[in-house]
Amino acid sequence: MIPDETVERVRESADIVGVIGEYVQLKRTGADFRGPCPFHQGTGRNFSVSPKIGRYHCFVCHESGDVFSYLMKRIGVDFVTAVKMVGEKSGIEVIDIPTGRPDEKDAREPLWEVNAAAAEYFSRTLWNEDSGTAARAYIAQRDVSRELADKVGLGYAPREIGLMRGHLNTLGFDDERLIEAGLLHVPEGVTEPRPRFRDRLIFPIYDVSSRVVGFGGRLLGPGEPKYLNSAESPVFSKGKLLYGLNWAKQAARRDERMLVVEGYFDVMRLIGAGVESVVAPMGTALTDEQAKLVRRYTQRVYLLYDSDKAGLKATFRSGDELLAQGASVQVVTLPDGEDPDTFVRTHGARGLETQLASSIDVFERKIQLLERGGWFADLRKKRQALDRLLPTLRATIDPITRALYTSHLERISGITGEVLEAEVRAVTKKHTRSAPFVPQAIREASIRESDTNRRPGRSSNRTTPGSSGRPTEREFVRVLLHRPWLIEKVSERLGPTDILNPLLRNIFRSLINVGSDMGQLVAELDEDSIGILQELHAESAGLDSAETTIQGVFKQINELQVREELEELKNLSVLASADEKTALLQQIVELSALRRAGGGKGWNVGRRSAHAEDEKNTT
């Protein structure tokens, strides 16, 4: 058995023209190659080979397929041999892993089978059952045709607890397999398994080979989380899959581009408009694995995320991941209030093409936002602007693109290319911290907690208010959730980007925005953040020293602020003129004296963090 990943890698790397050209005399005709068909022994040039989509087709006998099927049909080898032959020509080692018995199935086959059966059940429930009435009305409201819904496999998961389970059990799928596939789960304190998806519009999620590996469910009414994905399983890993890639892979080669959008409806709408080279991550920003997948099919990528703060941050995180894979990345900015779904519904594919034509390079977009915010206006802000741009330069592996970015930044900032290159090469502590004034205790604790807090339902090795240990981010946010009168005072000194853990940062941001009301908090947060929020809300003990905990955080901030401002001033001297260096020296002397005096007293000392002043989009 050859692993699917190897088969796909060989397929993507294959020179189908070169392979078939060893048996057929091919000549270029436009973007394709033509020759006589080897299957019906034709003499006309009716046999077409397309390198863009990796397929061949005869317009007379209608034989068609990919590079593997050609070798299997033409010279009579089996699939494994065909893959090995193509792999050898592509320089890829293909290892056939023994399965023990010739008829032994892939260990993942049972999960593919049950997911396929579940997808069929959800689809039938949507269109044929009374329980799907509201879902059908919702689809009609979103202007989704039956043809398009069937193309992407839309379905509906009923509210009733036992219907799906009973149906799949009658087909021979036991509860153990349903639980392993993530279709059922056993909540804490409950003995009977329950369906993961209830009263949700269901989007089947396919792998690159078009097998159903999981589902995404959208609530039809109020509630949270609005979107829910399948749990991780041997066939479903959210960070390694892209929704729509099974349709987009050939289209991306043909169009020589890939569009990356945020949601299932965005993908579906674009497919319905005839734009098939589109995918969506099952989160906000692309992971490195997802970026590798995109890059496998194309070098040119367009990001069509929302233009709000969260969307822009996801845009730039995704951009960096793609630049690290050698992609060329463009940002498409739609009109205010529009997303790809609503825009294409109104303006169609032609309107979208106009927006793509006016897209802007991801690095240029980042600079554009910083310029509009006045970040290059004075010395200190210029330093901070550079700190926000340098990670993108470091991520860019294509040497020409990186040189162009560096040259452009040199013109904008007035900093020489040599200094910028030295900063890009530097791997120092000042480039890895997320914010200039984060307490050391929080920074150290975040490293320990990062894995623990990533998934709901797991506890952390945190210190408590009454312990001798220093406060952590988790305890800090827990205190604010249970002592909401402290939020306003804390927010005058800390901003969300001062919190390193992303889930806790989301909760802290929502606490500042809407207060401690659980209903409003849940409405603002994603699924993973909600899990942590519920943990914190349930932990109401040990809050007698809440103000002491917060005050301890601010005292540490104040002491660390002095040290880090000294470091920042020293860094600024690289950019300063002679007169500016004199002023910087005076500030260094004053801060050194303050440091020797012991800093300050916590709550009321020191300036408000620049990150608390304004959480900029480009972090």
Instruction: Find out whether 346 and 331 touch, Cβ atoms under 8 Å.
Output: no
151, pLDDT greater than 60: yes
Q: Report, in angstroms and rounded to the nearest whole number, the Rg of the chain calculated over CA atoms.
A: 28
91 vs 88: CA distance, rounded Å: 5
Instruction: Look at residue 556 in the predicted model and tell me its pLDDT.
Output: 63
313 vs 616: CA distance, rounded Å: 9
Distances (CA, A) of 543 to 23, 396, 555: 78, 47, 19
Binned at pLDDT 50, 70 and 90, residue 574 comes out as: low
Neighbours of 34 (CB within 10 A): 18
Instruction: Look at residue 103 in the predicted model and tell me its pLDDT.
Output: 54
- Kindly give, in sequence order, each residue whose CB lies less than 8 Å from that of residue 557, ignoring residues fewer than 6 positions away: 437, 438, 439, 493, 494, 606, 609
E strand residue ranges, 309-351? 328-331
Burial label, 137 (beta-carbon count in 10 A; 0-12, 13-18, 19+) = exposed
Instruction: Look at residue 439 in the predicted model and tell me its pLDDT.
Output: 32
Q: Torsion angle, CA of 47/51/53/54, rounded to 10 degrees?
A: 80
Instruction: Look at residue 609 in the predicted model and tell me its pLDDT.
Output: 36
Q: Which of 455-464, 476-485, 521-530 is the most confident on average?
A: 476-485
* pLDDT, mean of residues 524-547: 81
Instruction: Look at residue 576 in the predicted model and tell me its pLDDT.
Output: 61
Over the stretch 446-470, which tens digit does the pLDDT of each residue have? 333 343 333 333 333 333 333 333 3
610 vs 410: CA distance, rounded Å: 24
Structure tokens at 317: 């995180």
Instruction: Look at residue 565 in the predicted model and tell me its pLDDT.
Output: 66
* pLDDT, mean of residues 508-534: 82
- Kindly give, in sequence order, each residue whose CB lies less than 8 Å from that of residue 209, ignoring residues fewer than 6 positions away: 4, 8, 246
- Kindly give, in sequence order, each residue whose CB lies less than 8 Å from that of residue 443, ignoring residues fewer than 6 positions away: 433, 500
- Backbone conformation region of residue 121, classed left if phi is above 0, alpha if psi is from -120 to 50, else beta: alpha
- Backbone conformation region of residue 379, classed left if phi is above 0, alpha if psi is from -120 to 50, else beta: alpha
287 vs 455: CA distance, rounded Å: 17
Instruction: Look at residue 100 in the predicted model and tell me its pLDDT.
Output: 52
155 vs 121: CA distance, rounded Å: 8
The closest alpha carbon to 263, from 217, 222, 294, 298, belongs to: 217
* pLDDT, mean of residues 597-609: 42
Task: Kindly report the average pLDDT of the chain as a whole number.
Answer: 82
More confident residue, 357 or 530: 357
Binned at pLDDT 50, 70 and 90, residue 577 comes out as: low
* pLDDT, mean of residues 568-593: 67
Instruction: Look at residue 594 in the predicted model and tell me its pLDDT.
Output: 64
pTM of the model: 0.63
Instruction: Look at residue 578 in the predicted model and tell me its pLDDT.
Output: 64
Binned at pLDDT 50, 70 and 90, residue 3 comes out as: confident
Instruction: Find out whether 216 and 262 touch, Cβ atoms under 8 Å.
Output: no
Over the stretch 335-374, which tens digit does the pLDDT of each residue have? 988 999 999 999 999 999 999 999 999 999 999 999 998 9
Binned at pLDDT 50, 70 and 90, residue 307 comes out as: confident
105, pLDDT greater than 80: no
Q: Backbone phi, then psi, for 81, in 5-degree steps?
A: -65, -40
452 vs 461: CA distance, rounded Å: 8
- Write down the H helix ranges in 414-526: 417-425, 429-432, 440-454, 473-482, 487-491, 502-514, 518-524
Q: What percent of the chain has pLDDT over 90?
A: 43
Instruction: Look at residue 137 in the predicted model and tell me its pLDDT.
Output: 97
Lowest-pLDDT choice from 390-404, 468-482, 517-531: 468-482
Instruction: Look at residue 264 in the predicted model and tell me its pLDDT.
Output: 96
Structure tokens at 115: 């997911």
439 vs 497: CA distance, rounded Å: 13
Instruction: Find out whether 340 and 266 touch, Cβ atoms under 8 Å.
Output: yes
Instruction: Look at residue 157 in the predicted model and tell me its pLDDT.
Output: 97
Instruction: Look at residue 470 in the predicted model and tell me its pLDDT.
Output: 36
More confident residue, 243 or 604: 243
Instruction: Look at residue 431 in the predicted model and tell me its pLDDT.
Output: 37
| Amino acid letter, 162 | G
142, pLDDT greater than 50: yes
The closest alpha carbon to 425, from 382, 389, 394, belongs to: 394
Strand-by-strand arrangement of the 27-29 sheet: 27-29, 32-35, 47-50, 55-58, 64-65
More confident residue, 324 or 379: 324
157 vs 70: CA distance, rounded Å: 41
Instruction: Look at residue 564 in the predicted model and tell me its pLDDT.
Output: 64
* pLDDT, mean of residues 37-54: 87
Over the stretch 207-238, which tens digit does the pLDDT of each residue have? 988 899 999 999 998 888 889 999 889 999 98
Instruction: Find out whether 442 and 553 touch, Cβ atoms under 8 Å.
Output: yes
More confident residue, 601 or 17: 17
The closest alpha carbon to 616, from 333, 385, 360, 339, belongs to: 385
**225-249 core/surface letters (b: 16 or more CB in 10 A; e: else):** bebbbbbebebbbbeebbbbbbbbb
Instruction: Look at residue 579 in the predicted model and tell me its pLDDT.
Output: 64
83 vs 343: CA distance, rounded Å: 43
Structure tokens at 224: 């949270």
* pLDDT, mean of residues 150-174: 96
8 vs 66: CA distance, rounded Å: 12
